[in-house]
């Protein structure tokens, strides 16, 4: 298989000829010219901006806390109520974004060793889009232990690289600026959220001067917790930019849903049953973490507003699909978990997920919200589908001849005003092998069913029990449902590709 960019301005007829020829050519370098040969009435291929935050819980993703993000992205696009981090852990989730694959196909099940387990790191989304003529840039955090393994070298597929070096931090950190080491200190102007936005807006400004569409992958460190925070109240939590940002949110109470400091955990696996109820001191610590996270996300919100304004100033907002999500959620005392993120429960699994698709790239009205299950694996599949549609040819998911990936994710275009179909009861695979967190699970719009390494099982009916207080595994009423979910989970653990898009193999298709 091969793919090539477009090299000159085309007439529509010439575009068709070139597009047909591309299927027979080996992959070659080139650049896509906007508005040339696009399949959809000459509309130029869309730009893509992916904004990824680190460890943001759903209870911090509200218009009261992030008004600019809601005004510019959520209220202008589609909010997914069942956005799933598959799995809820940084490096495996990011590998899924880059490949459109589940861990059993891309190889990363944990943050340790993280990047060294990444299969075919040269065959990723930025490589595919770069070969299709996109100008590609990364700003922020890439993958755990990437810089430990590779150093300052940019990852394959990125024309512009501003990657945070390990150890990650908000202040006093290094970045690789296109391969050259650059240090940022403790000044307010060195705060990583702001630095990343400045670099991202520079990328957008430069990209707007080109005829090529672009991909910006902007990965903030916030609101991940750290021990190096120079802000006194937040020494062991997310680091806000300054003391004033913490004081501005200290009046906001910590959410205490029914699962907070759960009284009866007799239905839970042993790892949860063995947890004591949270003490007064632990709850005070959680409250402090909550306020620090809110303050850190408040700064992200300001920077998202600046980023979206740059798109408008450059005249690119109407040509850019923007995706906002988190690599996993976070616990603030739910199920007695004070500061965890990898357990199968909703505070970790269900993440902020919003997509803004301009009118030019919608065949129908804007969908304000959706209950469909979407995952990080769907991001690559969606970008590739949109790029191919408006370039006028399929974008190969290949690094070279014979070096191709089969994505497990599917395009969510049908859910955001585009054409196509989406499975009504889509089941997402969640698989993780990290420390004590070793399980496989399936998450559907209504149920989550997991099999732990210990042999224990959990089944929650989110329709009647959204806070997961009653484990129904083994219950007579749910016997048939558990059997069906178990069978689906077994297939998903071996799955590869999507029926109707990919060629059949001996392995089952993903759902």
- Residue 377 scores a pLDDT above 80: yes
Q: Enumerate residues 6+ apart whose C-beta is below 8 A from 336.
A: 261, 262, 265, 272, 275, 276, 277, 278
Detail the DSSP E strand segments found in 257-402.
320-326, 353-356, 369-375, 398-400
Helices (H) and strands (E) in the chain, counts: 13, 16
Backbone angles phi, psi at 17, to 5 degrees: -60, -45
Going by the DSSP 8-state scheme, the letter that residue 140 receives in this structure is: E
Backbone angles phi, psi at 402, to 5 degrees: 80, 0
Look-up of token digits 């001191």: 281
- Residue 400 scores a pLDDT above 60: yes
- Collapsing DSSP to helix, strand or coil, 308 comes out as helix
CA distance 110 to 80: 26
Beta carbons within 10 angstroms of residue 72's beta carbon: 23
What pLDDT digit, counting tens, does each position of 39-51 carry? 555 799 999 999 9
Look-up of token digits 């603030």: 332
What pLDDT digit, counting tens, does each position of 199-230 carry? 999 999 999 999 999 999 999 999 999 877 78
- Residue 373 scores a pLDDT above 90: yes
Compute the half-sphere exposure of residue 418: CA atoms within 13 Å on the CB side of its CA.
Answer: 25
Share of the chain above pLDDT 70, in %: 92
Mean pLDDT of 130-134: 98
The CA distances from residue 64 to 272, 297, 356, in Å, are: 33, 11, 20
Rg (CA), the chain: 22
Q: Average model confidence (pLDDT) for the chain?
A: 92
Cis bond before residue 359 (omega within 30° of 0): no
User: pLDDT value at position 393?
Assistant: 94
Q: Whose CA is closest to 395, among 466, 501, 320? A: 501
User: pLDDT value at position 40?
Assistant: 53
- Residue 250 scores a pLDDT above 80: yes
With 0.85 as the threshold, say if the pTM is over it.
yes
What pLDDT digit, counting tens, does each position of 139-151 carry? 999 999 999 999 9
457-461 sheet: strands from edge to edge: 428-434, 437-443, 447-452, 457-461
- Residue 306 scores a pLDDT above 50: yes
- CATH 3.40.720.10, domain 12-425, yes or no: yes
User: pLDDT value at position 233?
Assistant: 84
Instruction: Please say whether the beta carbons of 188 and 241 come within 8 A.
Output: yes
**Which is higher by pLDDT, 58 or 236?**
58
Residue 85 structure tokens: 């981090």
- Residue 15 scores a pLDDT above 70: no
User: pLDDT value at position 24?
Assistant: 37
What pLDDT digit, counting tens, does each position of 475-490 carry? 999 999 999 999 999 9
Q: Whose CA is closest to 296, among 242, 368, 215? A: 242
Look-up of token digits 């819980």: 57
> Taking the mean position of all CA atoms in its chain, how far away is CA 413?
16
Q: Whose CA is closest to 22, among 385, 388, 381, 382? A: 388
The CA distances from residue 211 to 47, 94, 161, 298, 477, in Å, are: 11, 29, 20, 34, 60
Compute the half-sphere exposure of residue 241: CA atoms within 13 Å on the CB side of its CA.
Answer: 19
pLDDT grade for 236, boundaries at 50, 70 and 90: confident
Assign 3-class secondary structure to 263-283.
CCCCCCCHHHHCCCCCCHHHH
Q: Whose CA is closest to 22, among 172, 144, 132, 185? A: 132
CA distance 10 to 335: 59
What pLDDT digit, counting tens, does each position of 312-349 carry? 999 999 999 999 999 999 999 999 999 899 999 999 99
For the purposes of burial, counting CB atoms within 10 Å of the CB of 158, is it exposed (0-12), middle (13-18) or buried (19 or more)? buried
CA distance 220 to 5: 30
CA distance 155 to 150: 9
CA distance 16 to 38: 9
User: pLDDT value at position 8?
Assistant: 35
């Amino acid at each position: 298989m091969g793919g090539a960019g477009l090299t000159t301005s085309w007439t529509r007829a010439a575009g068709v000829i070139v597009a047909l020829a591309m299927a027979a050519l080996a992959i070659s370098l080139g650049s896509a010219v906007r508005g040339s040969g696009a399949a959809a009435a000459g509309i130029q291929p869309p730009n893509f901006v992916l904004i990824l935050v680190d460890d943001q819980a759903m209870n911090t993703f509200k218009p009261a806390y992030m008004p600019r993000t809601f005004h510019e992205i959520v209220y202008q696009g589609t909010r997914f109520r069942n956005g799933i981090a598959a799995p809820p852990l940084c490096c495996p989730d990011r590998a899924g974004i880059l490949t459109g694959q589940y861990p059993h196909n891309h190889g990363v099940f944990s943050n340790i060793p993280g990047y060294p387990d990444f299969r075919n790191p040269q065959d990723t989304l930025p490589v595919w889009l770069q070969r299709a003529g996109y100008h590609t840039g990364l700003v922020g955090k890439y993958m755990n232990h990437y810089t430990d393994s590779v150093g300052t070298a940019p990852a394959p597929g990125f024309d512009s690289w501003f990657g945070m070096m390990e150890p990650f931090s908000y202040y006093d950190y290094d970045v690789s600026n296109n391969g050259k080491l650059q240090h940022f200190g403790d000044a307010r102007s060195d705060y990583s959220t702001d630095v990343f936005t400045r670099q991202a807006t520079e990328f957008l400004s430069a990209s707007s001067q080109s005829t090529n569409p672009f991909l910006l992958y902007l990965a903030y460190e916030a609101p991940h917790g750290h021990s190096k925070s120079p802000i006194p109240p937040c020494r062991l939590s997310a680091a806000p930019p300054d003391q004033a940002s913490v004081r501005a949110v200290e009046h906001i109470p910590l959410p205490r849903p029914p699962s907070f400091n759960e009284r009866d955990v007799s239905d839970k696996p042993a790892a949860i049953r063995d947890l004591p109820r949270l003490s007064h001191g632990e709850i005070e610590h959680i409250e402090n973490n909550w306020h620090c996270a809110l303050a850190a996300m408040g700064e992200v919100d300001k920077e998202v507003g600046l980023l979206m304004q740059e798109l408008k100033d450059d005249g690119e907002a109407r040509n850019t699909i923007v995706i906002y999500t988190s690599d996993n959620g976070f616990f603030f005392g739910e199920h007695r978990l004070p500061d965890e993120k990898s357990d199968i429960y909703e505070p970790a699994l269900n993440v902020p997920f919003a997509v803004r698709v301009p009118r030019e790239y919608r065949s129908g009205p804007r969908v304000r919200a959706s209950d469909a299950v979407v995952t990080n694996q769907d991001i690559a599949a969606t970008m590739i589908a949109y790029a191919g549609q408006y370039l006028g040819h399929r974008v190969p998911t290949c690094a070279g001849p014979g070096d191709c990936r089969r994505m497990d994710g599917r395009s969510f275009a049908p859910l955001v005003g585009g054409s196509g179909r989406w499975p009504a009861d889509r089941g997402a695979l969640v698989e993780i092998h990290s420390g004590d967190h070793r399980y496989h699970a399936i998450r559907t719009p209504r149920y989550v069913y997991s099999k732990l390494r210990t042999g224990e099982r959990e089944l929650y009916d989110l329709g009647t029990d959204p806070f997961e207080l009653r484990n129904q595994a083994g219950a007579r009423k749910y016997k048939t449902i558990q059997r069906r979910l178990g069978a689906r989970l077994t297939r998903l653990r071996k799955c590869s590709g999507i029926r109707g898009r990919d060629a059949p193999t001996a392995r089952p298709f993903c759902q």
